[in-house]
A and B are shown apart, each in its own frame.
Chain A
Amino acid sequence: MPDHQNYAECRNAYQPHPARIIRTLPQISDHRLFQIRFEEEQMARNFDYRPGQFVMLSVVGTGEAPFSISSSPTRPGNIELCVRRIGHVTNALFKLGANARVSVRGPYGNGFPMEKLEKNNLLLVAGGLGMAPLRSLLWYALDNRSKFKDVTLMYGGRNPDEMLFKYELLNLIDRADVNCLLTVDRDPSGRWKACIGPVTELFTDLEIDSTQTYVAICGPDVMFKFVLKKLLERNFSKDRILMSLERNMQCGVGKCGHCMIGYKYTCLDGPIFTYWDAINLPEMI
């Protein structure tokens, strides 16, 4: 018989592990932050990941879907997933409250190349739900503050009532070790004191050394395009621009095929890609 991998020795990579919802924190309409903990204590404590990685979460009886991790590995124990109610799995998830059981496997994906990012400035640019994966990177950097030079966050929401992690981020404005720039597209309330306009507006006064900076972008397609334009105008090298991408994923481990872009699996080779990758992979953005 041909010499194959001994299946008995190979763990079932698709096995979900029981976990509980610790609490749910409402964000904006149809967005909720789920704090989740593996039931097995050893697993809960040892679950380690990189900012930018994701998990596959199952709601028993409904199905499984990928979610990027919004918490930072510097704060182990619980993982946090910022979820938008948008499909059948998230619909079912939103019906669950504290102590309900879910099943989780992971972490998957490459995550941000943290070793490379160290000793550099970090510029995080997020739009809408794009804050979900970047929040992990943000807190990782703030919790390891001495490893990085300047840390800048640019985050744009539609209006002040539709900003994820709003109070958490507003609190950062007063911190000296992070440059937190927030903007909204519109402010019907008239009470928003910060910038109004697209996230690209925030580049106007930004002074940053593009040769000493890594940029992490996550947001809607249209935001990518305008932000990339701004970055290229400032001579950012294409492999210093990192993007977190979304695709249909059903296995998370490079088998089911759905997340294939060109010749990369978003789940294995991504979801963090450099802009250089994107240029060389048709249809990526």
Chain B
Amino acid sequence: MKIVKLPKENIGQFINHLGTFGETHAPVRRGDESFAFAPVTDVSEIALDCTRTILPLKKYFFKPTEVMFNFSAQKGFEAPAEETNKRIVIFGAHPCDIHGLKILDIVMGGRYADYYYFAKRNSAMIVGLDCIPDEYCFCRSTGTDFVDDGFDLFLSDIDNSYLVRVGTSLGEDIVTAADSLFYEVEQSDREAYKARSIHRRESFKTEIQLQDLPEIMDLEYDNELWHQLGEKCLSCGICSMVCPTCCCYAVFDQLNLDASSGQRKRRWDSCLFSDYALVAGGHNFRAHRSSRIKNRYFHKQRGFVSQYGRPSCVGCGRCKAYCPAGVDILEVVQNLRSETRA
């Protein structure tokens, strides 16, 4: 992979340069400890040291609410035209975010590819940025602390500069079109990168063992722990909303005031909501909170492994950071494991 060097004094010009490829979105500060991906026009708006945004990148491709069809009695269902010529550049995607997108690509793809997702996915450029983990991060445990693909460019901080990995031909075009900003990588840069890599590794405060967790989850299917978690969980669904790989949605038809036309929409849903598994007639396949939270863990850590060979968790720490009831995935996994050992 081609790697070049971008001195930090050039980052402002680099961001301006990205703007010529599309509307640039990057993490911006929203509160003392909160960040969000939002449009930016100048590097001064970007929170380069942001560890995690509240919402992951899925919001760009799988909107919290979106129109699937306009309908009317005469015309039936017509999908609204997607803005295929609008390009956006996402700057500052961390490795876990990029891995999250790679998982969404799998889930949204396949035999019945999600038209709405890929229409938007294909018009976004991804410029990644590495990060130093905080106490919530466990991407090292999920194997998502580094990323090999899924980006056009990826920037790694080496003190005075960024090493820029060029992942795609579009990435190469960006570099070539502004080659005065970039320099060749020297021996001292390579050493700096390796030192940074060690520093990054040593910054992880948490580790969980995910290998053989699917088997342990099967063993502990009836563990009392799930009941306790159900007592704690508020069923608010925030863990699903902030999760980079949660993509359940609910479909609903909204009628216009003329009572004959309207829109079929979808909105983010959560398997923790009480009506998630409710069917017509009133039977609820997961009426209890404990069965719903257990289902969420099983899907991420057990079911997804069976389907795709890896858990659908990227270790971003959002579910733990934003849970109002203090449900902590690390604690859950550790409890499951120690219960098994006992």
Q: Is the CB of B112 within 8 A of A247?
A: no
Given the known interface contacts A15-B77, A256-B269, the answer about A86 and B121 at a Cβ–Cβ threshold of 8 Å is no
Q: Do B115 and A10 touch (CB < 8 A)?
A: yes
If over half of A's interface residues share one DSSP class (helix, strand or loop), that class is named, otherwise mixed; here it is loop
Instruction: State which of A65, A253, A258 has its C-beta within 8 Å of the C-beta of B248.
Output: A258
Nearest chain A residue, comparing its CB with the CB of B282: A86
Verify B306–A263 contact, CB threshold 8 A.
Answer: yes
Residues of B within 8 A of A84 (CB): 281
Residues of B within 8 A of A61 (CB): 71, 73, 253, 255, 259-260, 262
CB of B159 to closest CB in A, whole Å: 29
Check B298 against A256 for contact (C-beta < 8 Å): no
Residue A194 lies at the interface, judged by CB distance under 8 Å to chain B: no
Given contacts A16-B77, A61-B253, A248-B278, contact A283 B285 (CB under 8 A): yes
Q: Are A14 and B69 within 8 A (Cβ)?
A: yes
CB of B229 within 8 A of chain A? no
Given the known inter-chain contacts A15-B77, A61-B259, A260-B295, please indicate yes or no for A254 contacting B285, CB distance below 8 A: no
Query: Is A80 interfacial (CB-CB < 8 Å)?
Result: no
Task: Give the total number of A-B pairs whose CB atoms are below 8 A apart.
Answer: 152
**Chain A residues positioned under 8 Å from B122 (CB to CB):** 1, 4, 6-7
State in angstroms the CA–CA spacing of A8 and B113 once bound together: 11
Q: How far is the CB of B239 from chain A (nearest CB, A)?
A: 14
A195 close to chain B: CB less than 8 A: no
CA distance A284 to B75 in the complex (A): 40
Q: A282 to B286, alpha carbons, bound, how many Å? A: 12
Query: Is A60 a contact of B72 with CB atoms below 8 Å?
Result: yes
Contacts of B19-44 to chain A: CB distance below 8 A? none
Chain B neighbourhood of A1, CB < 8 A: 122, 124-126, 152, 168, 170
Contact with B along A25-64 (1 / 0, CB 8 A): 0000000000000000000000000000000001011111
Whether A13 contacts B221 by the Cβ 8 Å rule is: no
A72 at the interface (CB under 8 A from B): no
Q: Are B115 and A14 in contact (CB under 8 A)?
A: yes
A159: chain B residues within 8 A (beta carbon): none
- Which single member of B68, B76, B84, B285 contacts A60 (CB below 8 Å)? B76
Q: Is the CB of B170 within 8 A of A248?
A: no
Considering the complex, which residues of chain A in the window 80-95 have a beta carbon less than 8 Å from any beta carbon of chain B?
84, 86-90
Interface residues in B129-179 by Cβ distance below 8 A to A read 149-152, 167-168, 170
Contact (Cβ within 8 A) B250 A250: yes
How many A residues, CB 8 Å from partner? 48
B118 touches A257 (CB 8 A): no
Q: For the complex, is B48 an interface residue (Cβ under 8 Å from A)? A: no
List B contacts of A65 (CB < 8 A): 280
Please tell me if the beta carbons of A2 and B119 are within 8 angstroms of each other in the complex.
no
A226-266 interface mask toward B, CB cutoff 8 Å, 1 = contact, 0 = none?
00000000000000000000111011011111101011100
Within 8 Å by CB of B276, from A90, A248, A264, A283, lies A248
Alpha-carbon distance between A61 and B261 when the two chains are bound, in angstroms: 7
9-residue interface stretch from B103-111, B187-195, B331-339: B103-111
* Residue pair B118, A4 in contact (C-beta under 8 Å): yes
B68 nearest CB across to chain A (Å): 6
Q: A175 at the A/B interface (Cβ < 8 Å)?
A: no
Min CB gap B166→A, angstroms: 13
Given contacts A89-B280, A263-B307, contact A12 B79 (CB under 8 A): yes
List the 9 closest pairs (A to B, CB-CB), nearest first.
A263-B303, A87-B280, A257-B248, A253-B112, A7-B118, A13-B112, A12-B115, A10-B113, A86-B281
Residues of chain A touching chain B, judged by Cβ–Cβ distance below 8 Å, are: 1-2, 4-8, 10-18, 58, 60-65, 84, 86-90, 101, 103, 246-248, 250-251, 253-258, 260, 262-264, 282-283
Which of B's residues lie within 8 Å of A, judged by CB?
A: 68-69, 71-73, 76-77, 79, 82, 84, 105, 107-115, 118-119, 121-122, 124-126, 149-152, 167-168, 170, 221, 247-253, 255, 259-260, 262, 264, 266, 269, 271, 276-281, 285-286, 291, 295, 298-299, 302-304, 306-307
Known: A4-B122, A247-B279, A262-B302. 9 other contacts (CB 8 A): A8-B84, A14-B69, A15-B79, A61-B253, A248-B277, A251-B251, A255-B108, A257-B269, A258-B277
- 30 example contacts (A-B, Cβ-Cβ < 8 A) are as follows A1-B152, A1-B170, A2-B150, A2-B152, A7-B113, A7-B118, A7-B119, A10-B113, A10-B115, A13-B115, A14-B69, A15-B77, A16-B69, A18-B76, A58-B253, A58-B264, A60-B71, A65-B280, A87-B280, A88-B280, A247-B277, A255-B107, A255-B114, A256-B250, A257-B248, A258-B276, A263-B298, A263-B302, A263-B304, A282-B298
